[in-house]
Amino acid sequence: MRVLVTGGTGFIGQHLVARLVAEGHEVVVPTRRYAHGRDLLPMPTVNVLQADIYDDAVLGRLVSGCDAAVNLVGILHSRRGQPYGPDFRRAHVDLPEKIAKACVAARVRHFVHVSALGASSSGTSGYARSKADGEKVIRDAYTGQSDLYFSILQPSVVFGPEDQFMNLFARLARCMPVLALAGAHARLQPVYVGDVVKAVLACLTHPKCRNNTYELGGPQAYTLAELVGFAARWSGHPRPVVSLPWAVGYLQASLFECLPGQPIMSRDNLDSLKADNVLRAPLAPELGVVPTPLEAVVPGYLGTQRRRWA
């Protein structure tokens, strides 16, 4: 099978591409800068291309000849706007629509889109609302298609080596005596990156996954404060976790947004924490995923950091 993977140079993408290659598939990975795909180059059946996936003509050429496409592109931060900012619109709505329409035009048999748990048009954050609209444009693009299919996955926050979640809090614990955050009591159900990859592969092969949407999460839900505490302790830097009032948290986030680079926490991130990010039902059996406990994986890679920092 020839598979186009947009977002293939990212955290989830690199794990997915490696698994696809291991199973004998040919993988096409477009990237804005060729150097971003250097870690994928040694894989024998991966074709890394520098390409602008927002260009309809380029996207049409990329999907041509593919049997399937997987979209992993997602961002956590955007300029402000209603119902969401322009960066969220571009990455979470415009791009999925472009890919879906290109797949339909090229008769690509299956399109798997990775969205987010909690995606809702009435969501508390621009992130959640944009993710919901991204799902809608995909469903609209496939209306009336009898032999072409889509699947949508909605993972909670994803953990694994090189993640930007548990690793972030571990780094903060290394340099801060106290970890103070708003939304400390928000509940999340982190899912292992390997389980997300398994779910994507199931969507590509299992007939029951056609034109369906699936939530993904781990076996247990935790508060944000618990997860931050775990990251600090498992990385060798146990720290007290202090819950901030929302008003102070938004002030803190506003200051983070003024700093160069990606903010540690944005106001929209805080908006997301006003709604629990947990599964409404057990994982669907057709996905073939037995959820991996956080405790079985995270201490291993944070412990490696601990030894490196020692």
Residue 118 belongs to what domain range? 2-158+191-218+278-291
> Is 133 part of a structural domain of the chain?
yes
At 44-55, the pLDDT tens digits run: 999 999 999 999
The distance from CA 30 to its chain's CA centroid, rounded to whole angstroms, is 17
- The answer to the question of residue 173 being in a domain is no
* 3-class secondary structure, 263: coil
Q: Are 253 and 273 in contact (CB under 8 A)?
A: no
Q: Please state whether beta strands 158-159 and 149-155 pair in parallel, antiparallel, or not at all (unpaired).
A: unpaired
Look-up: residue for tokens 């990455």?
91
Classify residue 99 by burial, with Cβ atoms within 10 Å: 0-12, 13-18, 19+: buried
Q: What pLDDT, on the 0 to 100 scale, is given for residue 142?
A: 98
The answer to the question of residue 105 being in a domain is yes
Phi and psi dihedrals of 64, rounded to 5? -60, 125
Q: Could you say which DSSP state residue 56 is in? A: H
Give residue 261's pLDDT.
Answer: 87
Question: Going along the chain, which residue ranges are E strands?
Answer: 2-6, 26-31, 46-50, 68-71, 110-114, 149-155, 158-159, 179-181, 187-188, 191-192, 212-216, 222-223, 241-243
Pairing of strands 222-223, 187-188: antiparallel
Mean pLDDT of 231-254: 96
User: Which residues, at least 6 apart from 12, have a Cβ–Cβ distance to it below 8 Å?
Assistant: 72, 114, 158, 193, 196, 197
Is 80 a member of any domain?
Answer: yes
Looking up residue 60, the CATH number of its domain turns out to be 3.40.50.720
What are the backbone dihedrals phi and psi of residue 150, each rounded to the nearest 5 degrees, phi first?
A: -130, 160
Average pLDDT value for the chain: 96
- Predicted TM-score (pTM) of the model is 0.96
Structural domains in the chain (count):
1
Q: Is the pLDDT of residue 74 over 60?
A: yes
Peptide bond into 83 cis (omega under 30): yes
Residue 167 lies in a domain: no
Task: Tell me the helix, strand and coil percentages in the chain, rounded to 5.
Answer: 45, 15, 40
Query: Looking at residue 162, what DSSP letter applies?
Result: T
> Is residue 1 helix, strand or coil?
coil
261 part of a folded domain: no
With a pLDDT cut of 90, the percent of the chain lying above it is 96
304 band by pLDDT with thresholds 50, 70 and 90: confident
Per-residue confidence (pLDDT) for residue 144, from 0 to 100: 94
The pLDDT > 70 percentage for the chain reads 98
In a domain, residue 181? The reply is no
Give the pLDDT band (50/70/90) at residue 305: low
User: Does 69 map to a domain?
Assistant: yes
**Model confidence band, residue 66 (pLDDT cutoffs 50, 70, 90):** very high
